[in-house]
Amino acid sequence: MFSSQLPTHDLSAYQQLTHWYQTPLGQHLLGCEQKLTTDILSRRFGYHLLQLGCADLQLHQGSPMGHKFAFTPFIQAAAGFQAIAEPDAIPLATASVDCVVLHHALDYALDQHQLLREVTRVLIAGGHVIIIGFNPLSTWGLRSKLQFGQRAAPWHAHILRSLRVCDWLKLLEFHVDEIRYAEYALPINTPAVIRYSSWMEGLASQLNWPTGGIYAIAARKQVLPLIPVSQRRHRLAISPLTIPLAETRTGKAADLPAAASHEHPQCKK
């Protein structure tokens, strides 16, 4: 994890990220993220989808879910959003959302554990979470680590390894369905460098090389089956009177009650 030099829930940092996504490198990254997210969301179905992000962007338009909405923590950036809310205090009822998309929300969260707990709370049983994050095991992660002084957007993120995020999800009783990687261009904001360094983008994406600048984790909230505890049945002792005659013929008369070992007086002739 890399320490941040900028407050994450800060309007200026939010606006800086929104502006950075308009640069050549940001546009290239956004295209990779949009393609990756659309492919994953096209296979997830439900009614309600929530997106929490780091900038004024929406990546959920390719989802087949009917109700798609996003939250922003700043009222100044609320254009196109339905509500103002902090990511670590989602104002939704428990088990009310079918899918949550975290577009670098975990990278810039003040409390990453609390954010995942809130996502777990609002998701229905069997609901999906899609996490887009920067990959520290890539050239993007290396540049973020070598960035000294006050880190400008987007290099001030709290970058987490994908395996660490998966461990957190498993502790919250999620099942990780898949991990995808993308963005293999060098993190240099020059169109020529971006074009020449991404010549193996297609092949690397097909092979899912784990050195991509970003990763996408798709996980599903597991449903724990409730197994009813059956009552213990006591085995009743079998009375000799209930033993069939076929089983008593071979036995001795002394083993039977007295009433059963004598013949009825009327039967004697």
Residue ranges of domains in the chain: 11-221
If phi over 0 gives left and psi between -120 and 50 gives alpha, with beta otherwise, what is residue 126?
Answer: left
Of the listed ranges 51-60, 114-123, 143-152, 210-219, the one predicted with least confidence: 143-152
Q: Rounded to an integer, what distance in angstroms lies between the CA atom of residue 196 and that of residue 199?
A: 6
For residue 234, is pLDDT > 70?
Answer: no
Would you identify the CATH topology of the domain 11-221? Rossmann fold (3.40.50)
- Reported as a pLDDT band with limits 50, 70 and 90, residue 75 is confident
Answer for the pair 105, 54: CB distance below 8 angstroms, yes or no: yes
For residue 161, is pLDDT > 80?
Answer: yes
Instruction: Look up tokens 């009917």; give the residue.
Output: 66
- Reported as a pLDDT band with limits 50, 70 and 90, residue 3 is very low
Instruction: Look up tokens 């050239």; give the residue.
Output: 139
Answer for the pair 25, 187: CB distance below 8 angstroms, yes or no: yes
For residue 118, is pLDDT > 70?
Answer: yes
Answer for the pair 99, 129: CB distance below 8 angstroms, yes or no: yes
Of the listed ranges 27-31, 94-98, 195-199, 224-228, the one predicted with least confidence: 224-228
- DSSP-derived letter for residue 76 is G
Please tell me the predicted confidence (pLDDT) of residue 218.
97
Percent of the chain with pLDDT strictly greater than 90:
52
Q: Rounded to an integer, what distance in angstroms lies between the CA atom of residue 118 and that of residue 206?
A: 33
For residue 229, is pLDDT > 50?
Answer: yes
User: 227 or 177: which carries more pLDDT confidence?
Assistant: 177
Peptide bond between residue 191 and the one before it cis (omega within 30 degrees of 0): no
User: 218 or 254: which carries more pLDDT confidence?
Assistant: 218
Residues 98-124 have a mean pLDDT of: 95
Please tell me the predicted confidence (pLDDT) of residue 87.
81
For residue 101, is pLDDT > 70?
Answer: yes
Q: Side chain identity at 216, as an amino acid letter?
A: A
- Reported as a pLDDT band with limits 50, 70 and 90, residue 256 is very low
User: Per mean pLDDT, which of 62-71, 146-155, 213-222 is the most reliable?
Assistant: 213-222
